Amino acid sequence: MRRLLDVVVLISGRGSNLQSIIDQTRTGALPIQIRAVVSNRADAYGLVRAQAAGVPTRVLDHRQFPSRGQFDQALMALIDEYSPQLVVLAGFMRILGRDFVEHYAGRLMNIHPSLLPAFPGLHTHERALESGVAQHGASVHFVTPDLDGGPIIVQAEVPVLAGDTPDRLAERVLKEEHRIFPLAIRWFAEGRLQVRAGQVLLDGEVRAEQGLVARPVVATPTSTPGAAQQRE
């Protein structure tokens, strides 16, 4: 019997990506154990999803801390109670500082609703429509201190259609998020990923399954700490 990978998931909202991970864990498609779901918001519906699945939940309200750094330190301490091998950001809407990101280097994964390196940050669907691009999508990447600039693991494209609104486009992108996020986590759990020269290799090479549309941006040192923010 294979050993399950211990995972902690961070959320801030409704947790639809969390649900996709839970569903594949239940079927055995994902060889992981979700040790805890942690939210910075007590009213996050994702906590209800986790509790329904029998997953322990914790709340750490960022508003109770006088500084971002103190929140990050408390969050690290909470996560480390579970000794996770992977920390997953599934709609966690807080920028995480350099110390936090470096503490989990190589085992901190995020999903972002754009084809990175295009449209880092927030409001990606609105920006995609305003720019006139023909293709939009989602990217799963390892988190580095460079905002949404970490090595890309897998991407999925969706067409931008005539008459699209941000909500319609977001709905199509979200379906792909639910597909590729568990896929990236499974590859990690199976030990199939490695990062070389800022690029993620699957089974030792760049493979078509990764759906990469651009070479990942290599993170460079920055004086402004940050991590990914995304919808869920």
| Enzyme catalytic residues | 112
- Quick one: CA dihedral 102, 103, 104, 106, positive or negative? positive
Query: Do 115 and 139 form a contact (C-beta atoms < 8 A)?
Result: yes
In 3D, which of 91, 87, 113, 114 has the Cα closest to residue 102?
87
Query: Do 53 and 26 form a contact (C-beta atoms < 8 A)?
Result: yes
Query: Do 227 and 110 form a contact (C-beta atoms < 8 A)?
Result: yes
| Residue 55: other Cβ atoms inside 10 A | 18
Q: 185: which 2 tokens?
A: 């986590």
In 3D, which of 92, 42, 45 has the Cα closest to residue 64?
42
Q: 86: which 2 tokens?
A: 């992977």
The CA distance from 166 to 177, in Å, is: 16
